Amino acid sequence: MTKDLTVGKPFKSILFFTLPIFIGNVFQQLYSMIDAVIVGQTISDEALAGVGATGAISFLIIGFVQGLTAGFAVKTSQLYGAQDEEGIRRSIASSIALSAVLTVALTFVSVFTTMPLLRLMQTPEDIIGFSYDYIVTIYWGLAASVFYNLASSVLRALGDSKTPLVFLIVAALLNIGFDFLFILGFGTGVEGAGWATVLSQALSAIGCFVYMFVRFPVCRVKAKHFLNKPLFYLQHLAIGVPMALQYSITAIGMMVQQTALNKLGTQVVTAYTAASKVDNLAQQSMSALGTAVATYCGQNYGAGKFHRIRKGVTESMIMGAVCAVASLVFVVACAKPLTMLFVKDASEEIISLSKEFLLWQGVFYVALAAIFVYRNALQGIGRSALTMLAGATELLMRSLAAIFLAKWFGFTGICFSSPSAWVGADVFLLIAYFVIMHRVIKKAMRSGSDNPIKLVYEKKGVPNDGKVTPVADEEVSAAAERMTTERVAQ
């Protein structure tokens, strides 16, 4: 069932749209954690460290895919807000075509650069084999990840956040079953964990697309919908590529961080791997909120409801702050038991390092929540190029902190690298968001006969030239929501 996020109370709309995404994200993290538990408990701590050491280069490619498909769907959500059904079909068709082409290129590049990147990151020799075997398997099955993320993004763009949840739960259960089958049944080692992920995502992607085409007539694309002008394809790339690069830029910073970490030894890498799994789980409420904000802003931008965007983003930040506090409590309470779950016979040193990392991350979760809210708001209104610059700020701050703070303070310095990146990105994103929204609303209020101030005064029967504004903001906002759906020029 699709949901129109351009009507109703913003807080309620965003909250109920976020909940299925959050549950889905948690399931996604849980089956990733189960991968790690099975690897750590049934193979070895070195195997766990090897899988964990691939996190940065995995995010370099998988993050690119997530950003790309989410970016394509931003265009779809804008067309949905504008109630352009043929435009939606053309957008979906364009996204499929672009995804297919880019999948081939990404698979080739990722597979043949894996070992050089692992060497560049100074991955310890006792775990590099595990790292390579695991991540190359994921890369060979990259198409599954691309089309699963694309189908989920399109459904969310149409306001359906529940169906992706269902298929994500299916993927999680399949992944667990395949883990036991390949690792314990066939004895395939870490490659089995990789193939379990690929196969579960592939089956879920197929299910998502079948459901989407059968359930929603607006998604039923035909051959003619692929025959779009180059400009239409470029519009998708103009949003998708900067979003993808923003993720990849973040991943490069994580690679610098991982390189500094690898120099501290396998035991430290093991502690960091376990703590990162807990950290990723704790971040999912904020990540889900960001996804909801992008769809909310995209639909309302397409509908020309700019005051509603501003109100929704403000209320989302309040939700984000609540999520950040709850996540901090979670990591402090669960640091020790979850670390012991991942690491077989975990030493006191590993547990202590894991707790230290999680504490410092948790303290700065409010800054992370702000990134998810304001970055996705800008992406939703089509300003993804600005978010790429925010990603560059993250890269700079994370890299500098990882290089210098790790040198001076060891593992504690590593713990501060991500918070430094979050704070740096927040400064840029907050300034960019408020400046852009001020300009968008100001331009909309001056847009000829659809000037909302004039509409308010006309309704009251009072002559006005649109320059004097002694009316309540709520009245102006209500009038603004009746403006033309034509997109405001960049």
Q: What does the pLDDT read at residue 431?
A: 92
pLDDT tens sequence across 202-216:
999 999 999 999 998
pLDDT at position 2 is 64
User: Mean pLDDT for each 10-residue chunk of the chain (490 residues)?
Assistant: 78 89 78 70 74 78 88 86 88 95 93 91 85 92 93 89 85 85 82 89 92 91 92 89 79 75 74 80 89 88 85 94 93 79 69 83 92 90 78 79 76 80 89 87 62 41 39 42 40
What is the pLDDT, as a whole number, of residue 176?
83
Exposed, middle or buried, 119 (CB in 10 Å: 0-12/13-18/19+)?
exposed
Q: Confirm whether 457 is domain-assigned.
A: no
- pLDDT at residue 113, rounded to an integer: 93
Backbone angles phi, psi at 154, to 5 degrees: -65, -45
Nearest Cα residue to 88 out of 2, 10, 202: 2
Task: Say if 475 falls within a structural domain.
Answer: no
Rounded Cα distance, 396 and 8, in Å: 40
Instruction: Classify residue 467: in a domain, yes or no.
Output: no
Q: Which of 290, 418, 309 is nearest to 360 (CA)?
A: 418
In a domain, 357, yes or no: yes
167 vs 173: CA distance, rounded Å: 10
In a domain, 460, yes or no: no
Q: Name the residue among 67, 75, 106 with its Cα closest to residue 93.
A: 75
Q: Is residue 476 part of a domain?
A: no
DSSP code of 462?
A: -
Residue 131, both tokens: 């790292």
Closest among 291, 21, 284 to 164, alpha carbons compared: 21
The residue among 280, 271, 284, 283 whose CA lies nearest residue 336 is 271
Task: Please count the structural domains in the chain.
Answer: 1
Domain containing residue 273: 10-445
